[in-house]
Amino acid sequence: MSKELFKGSILFGPVPAVLVTTVNEEGKANVFTVGWTGVACTHPPMVTIAVRKERLSYENIVVAGEFVINLTTRDMLKMTDFCGCRSGRKVDKIKHFGLELESGVDVSVPSLKKSPVALECKVRSITELGSHDLFVAEIVRNKIEKSLIDENGKFDLSKANLLAYCHGEYFALNRRPLATFGHSVAKKSTRQAQHRKRMEQMKKKGRR
């Protein structure tokens, strides 16, 4: 491949476009879109979100020390874009979309009922970087839509049509997975067994 050179900037993707729910001091919920999010640690489970100080959500997160990351799906495309273009200072985004909320289990912040995966997070540190501050937070509870958990207790997120964001465009992850973790180093017999299992599962679900 032959490369053009650009100055350092965020040409990085795809990333998930998530909806982050927060509450203010009075417990009123708000929701905003975050693309600058990532996994930071497995044990303890930690994630990051990068947020500009001027966001209403920034204030809410600093005051509450908690937030919820709601993964988004194809069906949530319009609200994902809207919640990233309008501030809760001007529009009650939850009312605007008639969003149903589910109470937090280990945090005071509700999650979005429509989202298949909600991660309840407690802020562990805040680092000023420039335009954005980086919140490092521990996931204290995962809430997963039951229909996405198969008979072996494994998540099948390929059914969820999750949304991704890449350089200003949204994409739905609506294809079957190409392969599973470790397939490149798995023994041939293991690979064949995995392949057989996948085919059986697909037959059961009636997918090609």
Ligand X SMILES: Cc1cc2nc3c(=O)[nH]c(=O)nc-3n(C[C@H](O)[C@H](O)[C@H](O)COP(=O)(O)O)c2cc1C
Query: Contact, 75 vs 161, CB < 8 A?
Result: yes
Token reading at 129: 């970087």
Closest to 101 measured CA to CA, from 194, 27, 173, 41: 27
Of positions 23, 29, 32, 70, contacts ligand X by CB under 6 A: 32
| Smallest distance, ligand X to C-beta of residue 135, A | 10
With a CB cutoff of 8 Å and minimum separation 6, the contacts of 93 are 30, 31, 32, 79, 82, 83, 86, 99
Is residue 99 close enough to count as binding ligand X by CB under 6 A?
no
Of positions 10, 12, 13, 52, contacts ligand X by CB under 6 A: 52
Is residue 34 close enough to count as binding ligand X by CB under 6 A?
yes
DSSP state, residue 155: B
| Smallest distance, ligand X to C-beta of residue 69, A | 11
Query: Contact, 48 vs 40, CB < 8 A?
Result: yes
Q: Which is nearer to ligand X, 63 or 149 (CB)?
A: 63
- Bridge partners of 164, per DSSP, are 16, 171
Cα distance between residue 106 and residue 54, in whole Å? 27
Closest to 139 measured CA to CA, from 104, 89, 185: 104
| Smallest distance, ligand X to C-beta of residue 131, A | 8
| Smallest distance, ligand X to C-beta of residue 50, A | 5
Cα distance between residue 179 and residue 83, in whole Å? 33
| Smallest distance, ligand X to C-beta of residue 161, A | 17
Is residue 21 close enough to count as binding ligand X by CB under 6 A?
no
Is residue 30 close enough to count as binding ligand X by CB under 6 A?
yes
Q: Which is nearer to ligand X, 2 or 9 (CB)?
A: 9
Site for ligand X in 143-182 (CB under 6 A): 165
Q: Which is nearer to ligand X, 92 or 102 (CB)?
A: 92
Q: Which stretch binds ligand X (CB under 6 A): 55-63, 117-125, 138-146, 177-185?
A: 55-63
Query: Contact, 50 vs 133, CB < 8 A?
Result: yes
Length of the chain: 208
Chain residue whose CB lies nearest ligand X = 84
- The residues of the shown chain that bind ligand X, judged by CB under 6 A, are 17, 30, 32-36, 50-52, 55-57, 81, 84-89, 132, 165
